């Protein structure tokens, strides 16, 4: 009988780096361009080890994610890492009071192990193919510091993205920085005027618009400017089924919700209540690749499209394996700031920077085994501040 691997150790490497000209906005939550400032950033690599020497590895948040993984690490010891469905189900139940980052990052590492064991990239294990993935330039939030500070700045940057090959562009605006909804609306209308039939235009107020009335104003501007989608418009946090169904009844622009709800069941409920047009899901929040594929297939069953939240090689694998999707979220990007994202730092030969697209605005899934890109341990070790085993 075939001898399957067993998980025999869970470890974490925490590292820090500093990004120049990166700061935060008025309420410290949004990262923005801020010339002269230095922002300390911190992340971790989760490692799931097996008795056959194969290690599943992926980056994650260094704070709450590590604490969650700690809670499930004893459970994982001795498990067959290929039993992903059982592990998904057990952690989902065991961590039902938590955010479930544990389920997400553990699952990604288990798929990395499977790919390395079977010597295939993850998209092959999912039944996918290496296909061009149409990327959108997902901007850093608007700032007050001479970067993306005006609607003209956004249009200039959209033009630069168009010339680089991008076919789609997404605004993260200023939100409540000056409580100025008119600046957001002017931005939408100007982009529509300048880029109709040239770029698919998207906007993500990231739940920062103060109320339903202003969300409706933005929505009507998106109608006029023929935006492709309006995402998480306002301060309910993106979770109210009633309010988003109501908004859909009052505007024509498709909306994209469900970034802030978790897992298959809540996504299906949101679809059934007719509260979204496009369905947001992602491996970092919805139970890894296993959880995201469940949502992608459920969405397909309703004849709708699923849109993955955020970049990273794992989303390139998933996107290569589903047909009911439109865009790869590349970013965050900015006209005056680069190389502050984690991906091009920790991986060799991998980037989600502005210039990572080909001349047609596409990116591709990696071809190596598992996640399929090599971690740059020289860089990671140089920036490591803490290394420890959670269980063995």
Q: Which is nearer to Mg ion, 127 or 237 (CB)?
A: 237
CB of 118 to Mg ion, least distance (A): 33
70 vs 240, beta carbon nearer Mg ion: 240
Tell me the window of 77-85, 141-149, 204-212, 324-332 that interacts with Mg ion (CB under 5 A).
204-212
Task: List Cβ neighbours of 180 (8 Å cut-off, separation of 6 or more).
Answer: 174
- Give the H or E element holding residue 388: strand 384-391
Min CB(206)–Mg ion separation in Å: 6
In sequence order, what DSSP letters do the residues of 117-186 get, joined into one string? HHTSBHHHHTT-----EEEEEEEPPP-SSSSS-SHHHHHHHHHHHHHHT-SEEEE---TTSS--HHHHHH
Find all residues with CB under 8 Å of 247, minimum gap 6, and list them: 212, 215, 216, 219, 233, 255
Residue 204 binds Mg ion (CB under 5 A): yes
- Residue closer to Mg ion (CB basis): 115 or 205: 205
Cβ proximity to Mg ion, 204 vs 352, nearer residue: 204
* Candidate ranges 8-16, 152-160, 258-266, 361-369; the one touching Mg ion (CB under 5 A): 258-266
Only one of the segments 92-100, 174-182, 253-261, 354-362 lies at the binding site for Mg ion (rule: CB under 5 A); that segment is 253-261
Distance CA 166, CA 194 (A): 15
Q: Does 286 bind Mg ion (CB under 5 A)?
A: no
Nearest to Mg ion of 117, 203 (CB atom): 203
Residue nearest Mg ion (C-beta atom): 204
Peptide bond into 214 cis (omega under 30): no
How many H-runs (helices) and E-runs (strands) does the chain carry?
Answer: 13, 13
Nearer to Mg ion, 34 or 204 (CB): 204
Q: How many CB atoms sit inside 10 A of residue 271's CB?
A: 21
Interaction between residue 208 and Mg ion (CB under 5 A): no
- Residue 280 CB, shortest distance to Mg ion, in Å, is 7
In the complex, which residues of this chain contact Mg ion (CB under 5 A)?
204, 259
């Amino acid at each position: 009988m075939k001898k399957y691997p067993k998980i025999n150790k869970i470890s974490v490497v925490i590292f820090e780096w500093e990004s120049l000209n990166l700061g935060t906005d008025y309420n410290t939550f949004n990262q923005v361009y801020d010339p002269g400032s230095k922002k300390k950033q911190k992340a971790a690599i989760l490692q799931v080890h097996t008795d056959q020497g194969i290690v599943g590895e992926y980056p994650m948040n260094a704070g709450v994610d590590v604490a969650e993984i700690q809670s499930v690490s004893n459970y994982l010891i001795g498990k067959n890492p290929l039993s992903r469905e059982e592990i998904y189900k057990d952690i989902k139940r065991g961590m039902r009071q938590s955010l479930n980052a544990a389920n997400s990052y553990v699952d990604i590492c288990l798929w990395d192990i499977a790919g390395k064991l079977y010597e295939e990239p993850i998209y092959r294990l999912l039944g996918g193919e290496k296909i061009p993935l149409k990327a959108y330039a997902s901007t850093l939030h608007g700032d007050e510091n001479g970067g993306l500070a005006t609607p003209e700045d956004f249009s200039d940057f959209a033009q630069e993205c168009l010339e680089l090959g991008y076919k789609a562009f997404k605004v993260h605006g200023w939100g409540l920085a000056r409580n100025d909804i008119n600046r957001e609306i002017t931005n939408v209308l100007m982009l529509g005027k300048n880029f109709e039939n040239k770029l698919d235009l998207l906007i993500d107020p990231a739940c920062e618009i103060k109320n339903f009335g202003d969300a409706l104003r933005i929505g009507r501007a998106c109608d006029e400017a023929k935006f492709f989608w309006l995402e998480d418009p306002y301060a309910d946090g993106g979770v109210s089924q009633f309010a988003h169904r109501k908004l859909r009844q009052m505007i024509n622009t498709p909306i994209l919700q469900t970034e802030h709800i978790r897992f298959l069941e809540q996504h299906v409920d949101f679809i059934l209540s007719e509260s979204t047009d496009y369905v947001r899901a992602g491996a970092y929040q919805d139970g890894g690749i296993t959880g995201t594929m469940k949502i992608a297939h459920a969405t397909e069953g309703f004849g709708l499209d699923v849109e993955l939240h955020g970049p990273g090689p794992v989303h390139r694998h998933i996107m290569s394996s589903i047909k009911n999707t439109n865009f790869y979220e590349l970013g965050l990007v900015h006209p005056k700031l680069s190389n502050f994202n984690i991906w091009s730092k920790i991986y060799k030969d991998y980037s989600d920077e502005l210039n990572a697209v080909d001349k047609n605005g596409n990116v591709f899934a990696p071809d190596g085994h598992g996640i399929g890109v090599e971690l740059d341990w020289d860089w990671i070790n140089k920036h490591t501040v803490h290394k420890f085993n959670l269980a063995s």
